């Protein structure tokens, strides 16, 4: 268990301008990729500004999140994630323990948050949906006008945006821009809307909104509101605040990208403690993960005799299923 200590009062998470990469020119992409390279080596986290995602789309998604979490608990529980073969739907308060994914360490208390998950919208008879794989089909939708349409539109925008970021990460590793693309055909992106209540006085020892953890997959794109509370552990081991910056997304790498790069790029610990007085905190992460059948093995340019491979080969599904089991305490229904 990672005991909670207040973060250092400093900020070193870089803010990267995405605009130069959007004009299609190699120079602009290389400039942005070089900035991403530095951030991935040092923190594994960075802000992206001038990203091109319409602010109205982001605002509408936050509005849908607030409307959903305002529903009576009984209505939210009708679409519990445990009812879905792809574990899409509602996660109740205290349903997840993100801290202490190492099963040999002391078990941490449950997180103080509730969530709604949705994956790629597919018909039940689609081949991927029929496999009952997490993130593919079997979404459950609340009875809120426009919720499904808005959420699917946001998902599709994030899927395209994340693919562009992944291309820049490839360039930053001196790989062809499309090097990762074959592993994401199609991607198993997962959209999550999260509500964190104000930190309660009666919380258990070391119980916070989201315990210290790394993300499990490829790349995470986070939209957060103005409440604050996200904290990141740097390469030096210090905890620093990642405050909201208007007009930006926070990008961080997951464990599979760290495995691919042989730890050249970092999948850093982060956590959330909502100390914003009486204000709820809302965040909307999009987890851009490889196709479940993709084989994850160290990129050839990321190891040599002096820096041998640190990770065994696995499939994306094997890794994500195991992390789900550790975090939620049960195996998903994914086949």
Give the DSSP per-residue string, 180-194: TGGGGTT---EEEEE
| Residue carrying the six token digits 């693309």 | 181
pLDDT given at position 283 = 97
How far apart, in whole angstroms, are the C-alpha atoms of residue 154 and residue 286? 10
Tokens of 257: 């990208």
How far apart, in whole angstroms, are the C-alpha atoms of residue 39 and residue 18? 14
Among the ranges given (94-103, 122-131, 149-158, 251-260), the one the predictor scored with the smallest mean pLDDT:
94-103
Tokens of 325: 């089991």
What value does the mean pLDDT take over residues 118-136? 92
**pLDDT tens digits along 220-230:** 999 999 999 99
15 burial type by CB count under 10 A (0-12 exposed, 13-18 middle, 19+ buried): middle
Order of strands across the sheet that contains 219-224 = 15-17, 45-49, 248-253, 219-224, 281-288, 190-196, 114-118, 89-91
Look at residue 43 and tell me whether its pLDDT is greater than 60. yes
pLDDT given at position 205 = 74
| Residue carrying the six token digits 């400093």 | 10
Residue 6, helix vs strand vs coil: coil
**Non-local CB neighbours of 96 within 8 Å, separated by 6+ positions:** 110, 111, 113, 115, 327, 328
Q: Where are the domains of the chain?
A: 15-328
What single DSSP character describes residue 47?
Answer: E
> How sure is the predictor about 90, in pLDDT bands with cuts at 50, 70 and 90?
very high
Nearest partner of 229 among 274, 193, 267, judged by Cα: 274
> How sure is the predictor about 290, in pLDDT bands with cuts at 50, 70 and 90?
very high
Q: CB neighbours (10 Å) of residue 100?
A: 20
pLDDT given at position 308 = 93
Q: Which residues pair with 221 in a beta bridge?
A: 251, 286
How far apart, in whole angstroms, are the C-alpha atoms of residue 271 and residue 201? 19
Output the pTM of the full model. Answer: 0.91
Q: Would you give the distance in Å from CA 51 to the centre of its chain? A: 17
Residue-level length of the chain: 335
Q: Which residues pair with 117 in a beta bridge?
A: 89, 192
The C-alpha angle 102, 104, 109, rounded to 5 degrees, equals 70
**pLDDT tens digits along 173-215:** 999 999 999 999 999 999 999 999 988 777 777 788 888 888 8
Look at residue 98 and tell me whether its pLDDT is greater than 80. no
pLDDT given at position 332 = 58
Residue 63, helix vs strand vs coil: helix
**pLDDT tens digits along 267-287:** 989 999 887 778 999 999 999
Thinking of the domain 15-328, which architecture would CATH place it in? Sandwich (2.60)
Q: CB neighbours (10 Å) of residue 73?
A: 12
Secondary structure (H, E, C), 212-238: EECCCCCEEEEEECCCCCEEEECCCCC
What single DSSP character describes residue 300?
Answer: G
């Amino acid at each position: 268990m990672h005991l909670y200590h207040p973060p250092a009062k400093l900020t070193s998470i870089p803010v990267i301008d995405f605009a130069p990469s959007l004009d299609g020119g190699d120079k602009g992409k290389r400039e942005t990729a070089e900035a991403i390279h530095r951030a991935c080596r040092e923190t594994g986290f960075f802000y992206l500004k001038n990203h091109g995602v319409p602010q109205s789309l982001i605002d509408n998604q936050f509005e849908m999140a607030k409307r959903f979490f305002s529903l009576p608990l009984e209505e939210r529980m009708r679409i519990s994630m445990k009812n879905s073969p792809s574990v899409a739907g509602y996660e109740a308060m205290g349903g997840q323990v993100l801290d202490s994914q190492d099963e040999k360490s002391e078990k941490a208390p449950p997180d103080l948050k509730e969530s709604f998950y949705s994956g790629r919208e597919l018909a039940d008879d689609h081949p991927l949906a029929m496999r009952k794989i997490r993130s593919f089909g079997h979404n459950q939708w609340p009875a809120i006008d426009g919720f499904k349409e808005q959420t699917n539109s946001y998902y599709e925008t994030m899927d395209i945006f994340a693919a562009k970021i992944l291309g820049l990460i490839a360039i930053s590793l001196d790989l062809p821009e499309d090097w990762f693309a074959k592993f994401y055909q199609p991607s198993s992106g997962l959209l999550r809307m999260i509500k964190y209540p104000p930190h309660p006085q009666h919380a258990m020892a070391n119980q916070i909104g989201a315990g210290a953890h790394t993300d499990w997959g490829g790349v995470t794109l986070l939209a957060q509101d103005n409440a604050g509370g996200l904290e990141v552990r740097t390469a030096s081991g210090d905890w620093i605040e990642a405050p909201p910056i208007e007009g930006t997304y926070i990008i961080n790498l997951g464990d599979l990208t760290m495995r691919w790069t042989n730890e050249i790029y970092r999948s850093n610990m982060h956590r959330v403690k909502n100390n914003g007085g009486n204000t709820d905190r809302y965040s909307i992460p999009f987890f851009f993960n490889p196709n479940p059948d993709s084989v994850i093995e160290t990129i050839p340019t990321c190891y040599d005799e002096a820096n041998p491979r640190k990770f065994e080969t696995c499939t994306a599904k094997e890794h994500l299923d195991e992390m789900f089991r550790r975090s939620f305490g049960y195996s998903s229904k994914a086949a």
